[in-house]
Structure 1
Amino acid sequence: MSELLLTIDTTTPVGSVAVTGGETLLGEVLLNLRSTHTDRLLLTVRQLLTDLNLDISAIEGFGVVLGPGSFTGVRVGVATVKGLALATGKPVAGVSTLRTLALQAPFARSPVCALLDARKKEVYAGLFTWEGGRPLPLGGEAVLAPEALLDSLEGEVLFVGDGSLAYRTLIVRMLGARAHFLPWPLNLPRASCAAMLVLDELRQGRTVPLEALKPTYIRASEAEILWDRRRQDGLFEG
Structure 2
Amino acid sequence: MPYILNIETATKNCSIAIAKNGETILCKEMAEEGYSHAEKLHVFIKEAIDNLQMSFKDLSAIAVSQGPGSYTGLRIGVSAAKGLCFALDIPLIAVDTLEVLASQVKVANGIIIPMIDARRMEVYSAVFDSNLNKIREVQAEIIDEKSFSEIDSTIYFIGDCASKCKTVLTKENFIFLEDKIYPSANEMSALSFEKFKNGDTVDVAYFEPYYLKDFMITTSKK
Question: Taking structure 1 as the reference length, what is the TM-score of the superposition?
Answer: 0.85
Match of 1:31 in 2: 30
Q: Which runs of 5+ in 2 are unaligned?
A: none
1:8 pairs with 2:7: yes
CA distance in 1 between partners of 2:36 and 2:215 (Å): 18
**1:161-185 superposed Cα distances (whole Å, 9 cap, x missing partner):** 112344222222xx2x11112251x
Q: Secondary structure at the match of 1:67?
A: coil
Q: Which runs of 5+ in 1 are unaligned?
A: 230-238
Q: Pick closer, same or farther for the CA change 1:197–1:24 going to 2, 3 Å.
A: closer
**1:90-146 superposed Cα distances (whole Å, 9 cap, x missing partner):** 111101111111101124410101111111320001000133xxx111121100101
Deviation of 1:149 (Å): 6.8
CA distance in 1 between partners of 2:191 and 2:38 (Å): 24
User: What is the number of equivalent residue pairs in this alignment?
Assistant: 218
2:176 pairs with 181, 185, 190, which one? 181
Match of 2:209 in 1: 215
Quote the sequence identity (%): 25
Q: Secondary structure at the match of 2:99?
A: helix
Please state which structure has a larger fraction of its residues in helix: 1
Name the Cα RMSD after superposition. 2.2
Match of 2:104 in 1: 104
Which AA in structure 2 matches 1:86?
Answer: F
CA distance in 2 between partners of 1:158 and 1:152 (Å): 13
1:199 pairs with 188, 193, 210, which one? 193
CA distance in 2 between partners of 1:72 and 1:204 (Å): 30
Deviation of 1:209 (Å): 1.4
Structure 1 outlier segments of 4+, above 3 Å = none
**Does the CA contact (< 8 Å) of 2:12 and 2:182 recur in 1?**
no
**1:69-105 superposed Cα distances (whole Å, 9 cap, x missing partner):** 0001011111110000000011111011111111011
Match of 1:235 in 2: none
- Structure whose CA Rg is larger: 1
Question: Taking structure 2 as the reference length, what is the TM-score of the superposition?
Answer: 0.90
CA distance in 1 between partners of 2:146 and 2:191 (Å): 26
